[in-house]
Structure 1
Amino acid sequence: MSKLHVMKDGTFSYSYDGEIQMLALSKLAEMGNKGETTFEAECWDDDFEERECTAEEIEEQKTAWDASAEQREAKSRREVEQAKALFGGIDPSNPEAAQELADHLSRQRGWDQVIYKGDGLFEVDFNISGRMSHDFVFPVVEKMPVANSFVTVVLRKDNQIRVDAPGFANAGSGNPMHGMMGGMAGMMQMMMEEEGGEMPEVVLPDGTFTIITDGRILANNTDEGPKTVAKGQSLSWDVTPRSEQAPTALIALD
């Protein structure tokens, strides 16, 4: 569940209570190392059916394998450095990387609870409040580049704000972190294709995103429009695997 309060006096609060999946960080070590240290000969017949290799073929392939050892090692080092850059210096090939990331987030303001549940899945309780004197983005992870976000609030002229929630639309992946972790997803996909592996199971989104405001709602893409509540009006979106359109709203705080 995600909720944004933004009021005419300039105060705002944002909360997120739910799960965040970061594409199975704990599996990266297995993916990156699979097949790199173990040689296995492969042979096919004229119909492209796998067959048993001859001793000569095994020896020939083993010689080529040994000759490419330095190249494989360099490729592995590049992948590790690329992954570390995406994760703010944390080495995701380390089996303890996910817990390290959870501890890292817990030190940031707003992250009241970050529990690692395994397979790249985090249980999160995030709460923050302040004044709407600047743009707001969730989530922000220290030293980690963000290609996309769950929620952005952008200040406009004439005391207006635009709220977008790209992370709460399916966009074909079913993963609410698809934008933020897009680079890592591509890297993981290539690694798995090369090693014959499968993508980890992705947790499907299931929740709501709500905006509550006493400002004037100028535009929104909810199904039912604004509803009157104690503090003004509310806009609400269901977030499911069928959510193809990202929530958006334009609000005047005058």
Structure 2
Amino acid sequence: MTANTRTLTGTRSLAAALIASLSLLLTGCFMTPGKFTSELVLMDEDRFTFTYDGEIFFLGLANLAEMGAASEEFEADDCYDAQTYESRECTAAEIAEQREVWEMNAPIRAAKAQEQAQQMSAMMGGIDPSDPQASAELVELLSRQKGWESVVDKGDGVFDVRYSVSGTLSHDFMFPVIEGFPSTNPFVQIILREGGVVRVNAPGFSSQNEGNPMGSMMGSMAGLGGMAAMAGQSANGPDMPDVPTLEGTFTIVTNGQIRANNTDEGANPTPTGQMLVWDISPRTKAAPTALIDLSR
């Protein structure tokens, strides 16, 4: 295989990964935690406090869309020897024919790109990801919602946030909830059952489970930087985004009865009750979950 063939293969592999990423965004899986610390306090009389300190990565505000557009530049398909089926350099006539077909399909690609841009804007509460002010708009949107005490744009889709809310569990709870955004990939859910029993699930705090397809996608994207370099992407187009690593701790503190949980060590005593701790990393397979009785 020639150097040109390897470069072409790398470019196409990168483009395929970008298309998969953008498709993931359009299905609603567009947020994932980075480095974080999160705590949920559950007490009798249905009192609760939830905090999240750390990074949130928004796929739609990374430069993946721009990279996807760059990957739409014409690249000749591989040509093969008719007898040996080995790849070979394409002739000028073959390249010209391929380019003609590619240019004929330009209106179809443009229409699809426009459709995807409209879909991405709808997924992000009307914020246009291609607008240079998109990140500032998101900061403003979050800052006016209750609980978002601090929102700092770190660039390329990564935001450092401080979220804290306290109250009474009169209904189910989910984080994050953003005005105008679909609630499709929650980090943490609190589900109320009859009799004062609470189920806590944290699908966003695992990179390898069906409840968080975004996490597994972000894990696989960590290696795309090298692929981009192979394809010459850094020299000829936008750089790969600096996707944050999923890393943190999730803690539940409660004075209720812990009926079930999937921590490694089980509950530890505290002055006010018991504590469950999950250490989260890219190797975390099972999403944190616990069943707690607050009726005692």
Q: Is the 8 A contact 1:210 1:235 kept in 2?
A: yes
Unaligned runs of 5+ in 2: 1-36, 234-238
- TM, length-normalised to structure 2: 0.71
Q: Is the 8 A contact 1:29 1:95 kept in 2?
A: no
How many corresponding residue pairs? 242
1:108 alignment partner, SS class: coil
List aligned pairs for 1:200-215, cutoff 5 A: 200-215=241-256
Change (3 A) 1:42 1:93: same
Measure how far apart 1:74 and its partner are.
0.7
List aligned pairs for 1:102-117, cutoff 5 A: 102-117=139-154
- TM, length-normalised to structure 1: 0.82
User: Of residues 36, 58, 68 in structure 1, which corresponds to 2:105?
Assistant: 68
Q: Which AA in structure 2 matches 1:228?
A: P
1:34 aligned to 2:59?
no
Q: Is the 8 A contact 1:148 1:180 kept in 2?
A: no
2:62 alignment partner, SS class: helix
User: Of residues 119, 125, 140 in structure 2, which corresponds to 1:82?
Assistant: 119
Distance 1:135 1:99 in 2: 30
2:243 alignment partner, SS class: coil
Alignment RMSD, CA only? Answer: 3.1
1:44 aligned to 2:79?
yes
1:235 aligned to 2:276?
yes
Q: Which AA in structure 2 matches 1:51?
A: E
User: Of residues 110, 117, 136 in structure 1, which corresponds to 2:173?
Assistant: 136
Q: Deviations over 1:143-165 (max 9, x none)?
A: 11122211100110011111111
Segment drifting more, 217-226 vs 149-158: 217-226
Q: Which AA in structure 2 matches 1:214?
A: N
User: Of residues 258, 271, 277 in structure 2, which corresponds to 1:217?
Assistant: 258
* Greater helix proportion: 2
Measure how far apart 1:206 and its partner are.
2.0
Match of 2:48 in 1: 12
Match of 2:236 in 1: none
Q: Is the 8 A contact 1:149 1:166 kept in 2?
A: yes
Q: Is the 8 A contact 1:147 1:179 kept in 2?
A: no
Q: Which AA in structure 2 matches 1:19?
A: E
Q: Is the 8 A contact 1:170 1:244 kept in 2?
A: yes
Q: Deviations over 1:109-162 (max 9, x none)?
A: 111111111122111110011111110000111111122211100110011111
List aligned pairs for 1:153-168, cutoff 5 A: 153-168=190-205
Change (3 A) 1:126 1:60: same
Change (3 A) 1:32 1:242: closer
Q: Is the 8 A contact 1:84 1:91 kept in 2?
A: yes
Change (3 A) 1:222 1:135: same
Change (3 A) 1:18 1:149: same
